[in-house]
Structure 1
């Protein structure tokens, strides 16, 4: 998983609380150990710059090349759909995660 930001997922809706005393840990959406326990490698501070769909390889800004079986583009609470070829291909879904 690539995360361009310098920290794991956090609650942006209540981000203003950070300025009134909440800590980054208070705002996190990730429980400690979640990625490790589920065998997920996360690349903090690195973003995807290229996707080779035919070869099933993702390239990052830090020069990593990671192969994949299935690819999920999770771009935030409201899914920004980048102007990429194939975005309307059957089996392509854009999901917004809503916290209830």
Structure 2
């Protein structure tokens, strides 16, 4: 602890090493028995994104068409993604209609 009771600040190298350890631990988890969730209203045969909740607030994500390819996110990464999506950070530009002319 620092003199004011706070933990000492991590150096950039320490942060990088900690994040690498977290990722290694996350990918070492056996997720063979997790329950996969997808958006309501999607049919079993339709392509969809599926997520599974992992220990420590982590999340796994896959495509229903490629269930063997699984991405894993720490709690901090998932939170940042969800907040960004809610804020419109990943919104696609609307496609022009009628050649870009208003109807």
Bin the TM-score by the shorter chain: under 0.3
Q: Relative contact order (C-alpha < 8 Å, sep 6+): which is higher?
A: 1
Query: Larger C-alpha radius of gyration, 1 or 2?
Result: 2
